[in-house]
Amino acid sequence: MSGLARPVAGPIVRPPIAERLAGRRERRRTVDRAWRGLALGATIVAVVPLAAVLLFVAVKGAGALNPDLLTKPPKALGVGGGALNSILGSAQMVALGALLAVPAGILAGVYVAEFAGAQAARVVRFASDVMVGIPSILVGIFVYTILVLPFKQFNAFAGSVALAIIMVPVIARTTEEMLRLVGRELREGSLALGLPTWRTVVSVVIPTGLTGILSGVMLALARAAGETAPLLFTALGSRLVNVGDFGKPMDALPVFIYNGARQPIAALNEQAWGAALLLVLLVLGINVAVRARSWARRAG
Amino acid sequence: MMEVNGGMAIDTATAPPPAAGVVDGPVGLTGPAAESGPAPGPTAAPDGSQAAGAAKLEVRGLGLYYGDFRAVRDATLDIRANAITAIIGPSGCGKSTFLRSINRMHELAPGARVEGTIHLDGIDIYGPDVDPVDLRRVVGMVFQRPNPFPTMSIYDNVAAGLRLAGRHSRAELDEVVERSLRQAALWDEVKDKLRAGGTSLSGGQQQRLCIARALAVDPEIILMDEPASALDPIATLRIEELMFELRGTYTIVIVTHNMQQASRVSDFTAFFSMDEDRAGYLVEHGPTPGIFTNPREQLTEDYISGRFG
């Protein structure tokens, strides 16, 4: 009752209805239009860099993204060849990293969501959040100290561990969030059938949250695939194709881009653009796959 | 105490038919007819005194706590085998908590505590040798909102209790699934789409699916926590019909806010209320016709006649 203060006693006196309905419409429209315009402008500012980066990489990289880049290793001497060493290296290190991180991350998420006490859950959740935000170069230095220095050898295993450390908190947090979304009534429905808690978690709760958990895993993979800093201290990079020897240096796409881009040689720069496009397509592909999964689920 | 009331019900079986207002309003309840003893009202459930049988559950001095909060105090009652017992009472009187103490779901709440005893066929279910997981196979539960497992088919939902607990042959599962779905009066509607998702069914069908799921592990007692409150009247009717069919084979305890439902389906009714400390307690318990037509306690009468709660 702002404009029309009601007297404590006596009849209510109101202005005529024509007066109460008049005058505001035009002003409202103007203000509405102004704010809409501002919001749209801000949205464009936010989206343009993404579009620009994608477009830039596409234009620059399209020429270099050829069969040679995908199938040949760099020439042992001089310039030329492809990025096979990096593609295989990325695949192997991300795969081994995932092998280490996925079980650990999912189990940690399950523990926090299902079994931990409130206090323990808060501590683990906070630690995970800090870990998600930690600069990845710190992870690189840490792993360098424990897995490279003692052996005096840059090695792909250390690279995988670094990627795993980056993946674990992402997977743990997503798993926890997804399991928390699973309603209490489903857990109780299962327990009421005389199923033990572990069985309830494994057969009812996790399957119900699985789509979300897999999305988290895939996003973690995408993030790990794009990391450069932790690999520079650990797997180092290599011009040789390394399949399966995790005790030796190994290349990766981001490292290939880093090395190619800082050489004063046009051909190498171009290869870096090609590898960048490949990496973007990979990460984009994973993201689209994740979205497609959740879209399909919502539609189905 | 039920026996006493049962006897009274028989005494008055020859009494003249009650006035039409007996079940509808408070007038008939306080009239002289009420003083002469309970009479079966037109909508009353089958006479409780005829659902003979031993006590399936003996509840003695039951106190239920959430941390320091006492949700139920000093509840003592027998629940008759193979009959339907309705638990009624205002919101917050501890009905659901009481129900959940019978299959030991209550203790899942943080800080939950139990005093007193519940004996099932003479065995203390809170005794040191009883594992709640085993108990819940004997005491099934149906919840307020249908909760089929969303990742499982209709078939898998019904089979879940058996399959996830141990090895069973395909033929055995097929048989149990069909029998349970028939018992739950759902078989004809789903027999051609057993592989469809459990959540693709309507709300009423989902609730019958949940009943079938509970029946599949062969319980002796079925607890129902407002099983029809999320359903439309037609689906509600089907659930009530189903309860009638299960009665005699299973001991059913149903919590309901709907007093018409309690009077329609149950043989016995227990009325809970809560005291100044918000602790729920049992006001009275007896054959349903007696509770609804001639309650012993003023509080019960006020509640069933809609004067509070």
| pLDDT per residue as tens digits for the range B230-243 | 899 999 999 999 99
H or E stretch covering B268: strand B268-274
Beta bridge partners of B104: none
Per-residue model confidence as pLDDT tens for chain A (300 residues): 445 555 567 788 888 888 888 777 888 899 999 999 999 999 999 999 999 999 999 999 998 899 999 999 998 887 888 999 999 999 999 999 999 999 999 999 999 999 998 899 999 999 999 999 999 999 999 999 999 999 999 999 999 999 999 999 999 999 999 999 998 999 999 999 999 999 999 999 999 999 899 989 998 999 999 999 999 999 999 999 999 999 999 999 999 999 999 989 998 999 999 999 999 999 888 888 888 877 776 664
Q: Tell me the backbone φ, ψ of residue A287, rounded to 5 degrees.
A: -60, -45
| Diameter over CA atoms, chain B | 63
Tokens of A115: 């079994």
Asked whether B242 and B231 are in contact (CB, 8 A), the reply is no
Residue A203 to residue B213, Cβ atoms within 8 A: no
- Minimum Cα–Cα distance from A206: chain B residue: B151
Q: Round to whole Å and give the CA distance between A290 and A216.
A: 9
Contact A192 B149 (CB under 8 A): no
Phi first, then psi, for residue A148 (nearest 5°) are: -110, -55
SS3 for B306?
coil
Tell me the CA end-to-end span of chain B in Å, nearest whole number: 26
* Annotated domain spans of chain A: 67-299
Which helix (H) or strand (E) segment holds residue A220: the answer is helix A206-225
- B42 pLDDT above the threshold of 50: no
pLDDT at res. B167: 81
The whole-model pTM stands at: 0.79
Backbone angles phi and psi of A96, in degrees to 5:
-65, -40
Collect all residues with Cβ–Cβ distance below 8 Å to B11 and sequence separation of at least 6.
B37
Of B103, B147, B151, nearest to A189 by CB-CB distance is: B147
Alpha helices for B127-258 (secondary structure H)? 132-138, 154-163, 170-183, 187-190, 203-216, 233-246
pLDDT one-digit tens code per residue, A196-224: 999 999 999 999 999 899 989 998 999 99
Name the token pair of B34.
Answer: 């009420």
What A236-241 contacts at long range (C-beta under 8 Å, 24+ apart), as own/partner pairs, is: A236/A154, A238/A85, A238/A89, A239/A73, A239/A74, A239/A76, A239/A85, A240/A73, A240/A85, A241/A73, A241/A84, A241/A85, A241/A88
How many angstroms separate the CA of residue B46 from the nearest CA in chain A? 29
Minimum distance, in Å, between the CA of residue B211 and any CA atom of chain A: 11
**Angstrom distance (rounded) from CA A60 to CA A252:** 20
Tell if the CB–CB gap between A199 and B165 is shorter than 8 Å: yes
**CA B54 → CA B40, B48, B58, B121, distances in Å?**
23, 13, 10, 9
Closest Cβ–Cβ partner in B138, B149, B214 for A186 = B149
**Beta bridge partners of residue A269, listed in sequence order:** none
In chain A the first and final C-alpha atoms are separated, in Å, by 48
Long-range contacts of B131-134 (CB under 8 A, 24+ apart): B132/B103, B132/B104, B132/B107, B133/A194, B133/A195, B133/A196, B134/A194
Query: Angle at the Cα of B144 (from B138 to B149), degrees rounded to 5?
Result: 70
Check if A194 contacts B (Cβ < 8 Å). Answer: yes
CB A239 within 8 A of CB A73: yes
What one-character-per-residue DSSP string does A227-262 give? --HHHHTTTB--SS--SS-TTS-B--HHHHHHHHHT
ipTM: 0.80
Residue B27: its pLDDT value, please? 35
Rounded CA-CA distance B250/B222 in Å is 7
- How far away is chain B from the Cα of A211, in angstroms, using its nearest Cα? 11
All structural domains of chain B, each given as residue ranges with its CATH number in brackets, are: 2-53+81-97+129-304 (3.40.50.300)
Kind plus residue range of the DSSP H or E element containing B73: strand B69-80
pLDDT at B50 over 50: no
With CB atoms and an 8 Å threshold, state whether B214 touches A193: yes
Residue B33 φ/ψ region, left for φ over 0, alpha for ψ in the -120 to 50 degree band, beta for the rest: alpha
Of B105, B138, B150, the CB nearest to A188: B105
State residue B18's pLDDT score: 39
**Sheet order of strands, B123-124 included:** B123-124, B112-120, B55-66, B69-80, B280-287, B268-274, B84-88, B251-255, B221-225, B139-142
- In the prediction, which pLDDT does B272 show? 96
Q: Using an 8 Å Cβ cutoff, are A244 and A92 in contact? A: yes
Question: What is the per-residue pLDDT across B171-220, written as a single tens digit (0 to 9) for each?
Answer: 999 999 999 999 999 999 999 999 999 999 999 999 999 999 999 999 99
Q: What is the pLDDT of residues B55-107, one digit of tens each?
A: 999 999 999 999 999 999 999 999 999 999 999 999 889 999 999 999 999 99
Interface of B with A in 206-265 (CB under 8 A): 210, 213-214, 217
Domain at A67-299, CATH homologous superfamily? MetI-like (1.10.3720.10)
Q: Residue A227 CA to chain centroid, in angstroms?
A: 11
pLDDT of residue B28 exceeding 70? no
Residues of B in contact with A199 (CB under 8 A): 164-165
Distance (Å) from the alpha carbon of B285 to chain A's nearest alpha carbon: 26
Write down the pLDDT at residue A299.
Answer: 60
Contact B133 A195 (CB under 8 A): yes
Nearest-Cα distance to chain B for A73, in Å, is 46
List all residues of chain B from 84 to 113 with a beta carbon under 8 Å from chain A.
103, 105, 108
DSSP per-residue codes, B235-259: HHHHHHHHHHHHBTTBEEEEE-S-H
Q: B243: buried, middle or exposed (CB in 10 Å: 19+, 13-18, 0-12)?
A: buried
d(CA A299, CA A292): 10
pLDDT at B308 over 80: no
B197 has which bridge partners? B153
**Residue A260 token pair:** 């190619």
Does B21 score more than 90 pLDDT?
Answer: no
Strands B123-124 and B221-225: unpaired
Query: CA-CA distance, B217 to B160, in Å (whole number)?
Result: 9
Digit-coded pLDDT (tens) for B104-162: 999 999 899 999 999 999 999 999 999 999 999 999 999 999 999 999 999 999 999 99
d(CA A162, CA A231): 7
Is A195's CB within 8 Å of B108's CB?
no
Q: A189 in contact with B at a CB cutoff of 8 Å?
A: yes
